[in-house]
Structure 1
Amino acid sequence: MQLVVGRIGRPHGVHGEVTVEVRTDDPEARFGPGTSLATDPPQAGPLTIEGARWHKSILLLRFAGVAGREGAEELRGVMLVIDSADVPPTGDPDEFHDHQLIGLAVETVRGDPVGEVVEVRHHGQDLLVIRRGAGEVLVPFVKALVPEVDLAGGRLVVDAPPGLLDPDEAQ
């Protein structure tokens, strides 16, 4: 399984640098000079990082073989990806990588099926996006609401208050 660690944005300057929307919790490890990254679409890469620097809160990368603003512009929108097998385990039994959670079946503490985790969003608070029928619900990924994650069993248990999984329950 491929994991997106960044998305190339607009060019920065005239020397081939690009802005990168970081989608990893360890940008220093993922985007160090000399690192080679696969791409999506695959025909854009692999890309080898020649230089990396932060400009305010924006990561700027320079890739080998990409010269000038025009070359950088051709990479706009390309996803930078790694193989999930290359991600080491966290070592903490209560900490998970996004790719471990995506695809897990979700059920309530009573064993009722809820749906499937389709995404993990990081907006200050980690949120699980759970596909439920034709819609989606967001569940904060905290121990009080998600008391059990069973990777081997392919499931995740939620202990949701009324209204979290079904807004009609809140009345």
Structure 2
Amino acid sequence: MEVVVARIGRPHGVRGEVSVEVRTDSPGERFAGGAVFSTDPASAGPLTLAAARDHNGVLLLSFEGVNDRNAAEGLRGVLLVADVDATSTDEPDAWSVPALVGLRAERTDGRVAGEVIGVEHGPAQDLLVVKQPSGSLARVPFVAALVPVVDVDGGRVVLDPPGGLLEGDGAPEDAR
């Protein structure tokens, strides 16, 4: 499975280095010299990592064949994509986004709440994006108190949201 691990930002200096917005939990493993990344758009790659370094808390990367500021500027906004094994993880409560998308969302009493269509990465925690039966979207904080059950094999997640987060829970907007 392919996942986005970084977004290339602005050039740094005149020798082709670029800053990146990291989108992986393991940058030390992902950004090792010689790593090859697919890109989005595909026309920008593949890119082979020549070096990675930290500069005041910002990850700077250099790629083979990108030797000056102009070439680096041409990569601005490009997404770096890596191939990962979706089934392996060291964390017992970690799921890949593709494993979650398509799961049926149920309430603790068994009523259907919708379908998981994505995960948004918020500043405090991830949010499950649930398409409700009406078609509207709900964003449920992906924490154990609100999502007590994730049963990928069973094709469902169980939600225990506070009042007003989902349709049909008696919140004032449902009475309209």
Question: Matches of 2:81 and 2:75 in 1, distance apart?
Answer: 14
Q: CA shift at 1:40, angstroms?
A: 1.2
After the TM superposition, which of the residue ranges 107-116 and 41-50 deviates more from structure 2?
107-116
Structure 1 residues not aligned, in runs of 5+: none
TM-score normalised to the size of structure 2?
Answer: 0.85
Match of 2:40 in 1: 40
After the TM superposition, which of the residue ranges 69-78 and 124-133 deviates more from structure 2?
124-133
From the superposition, tell whether residues 167 and 74 of structure 1 become closer, same or farther in structure 2 (CA, over 3 Å). farther
Match of 1:83 in 2: 83
Question: Matches of 2:23 and 2:87 in 1, distance apart?
Answer: 17
Match of 1:112 in 2: 111
From the superposition, tell whether residues 56 and 89 of structure 1 become closer, same or farther in structure 2 (CA, over 3 Å). same
Q: Is the 8 A contact 1:98 1:120 kept in 2?
A: no
Match of 1:71 in 2: 71
Q: How does 1:10-159 map to 2 (within 5 A)?
A: 10-85=10-85, 87=86, 89-117=88-116, 118-132=118-132, 133-159=134-160
Q: CA shift at 1:147, angstroms?
A: 1.1
Question: Matches of 1:135 and 1:9 in 2, distance apart?
Answer: 33
TM-score normalised to the size of structure 1?
Answer: 0.87
How many matched pairs?
170
From the superposition, tell whether residues 167 and 138 of structure 1 become closer, same or farther in structure 2 (CA, over 3 Å). farther
Q: CA shift at 1:56, angstroms?
A: 1.9
Match of 1:6 in 2: 6
> What is the alpha-carbon root mean square deviation over aligned residues?
2.1
Question: Matches of 1:21 and 1:57 in 2, distance apart?
Answer: 11
Give runs of ≥4 in structure 1 deviating > 4 Å.
none
After the TM superposition, which of the residue ranges 68-77 and 148-157 deviates more from structure 2?
148-157
Structure 2 residues not aligned, in runs of 5+: none
From the superposition, tell whether residues 49 and 88 of structure 1 become closer, same or farther in structure 2 (CA, over 3 Å). farther
Percent identical: 52
From the superposition, tell whether residues 167 and 56 of structure 1 become closer, same or farther in structure 2 (CA, over 3 Å). farther
After the TM superposition, which of the residue ranges 116-125 and 154-163 deviates more from structure 2?
116-125
| SS, match of residue 169 in structure 1 | coil
Larger Rg: 2
Residue 3 of structure 2 aligns with an amino acid whose one-letter code is: L
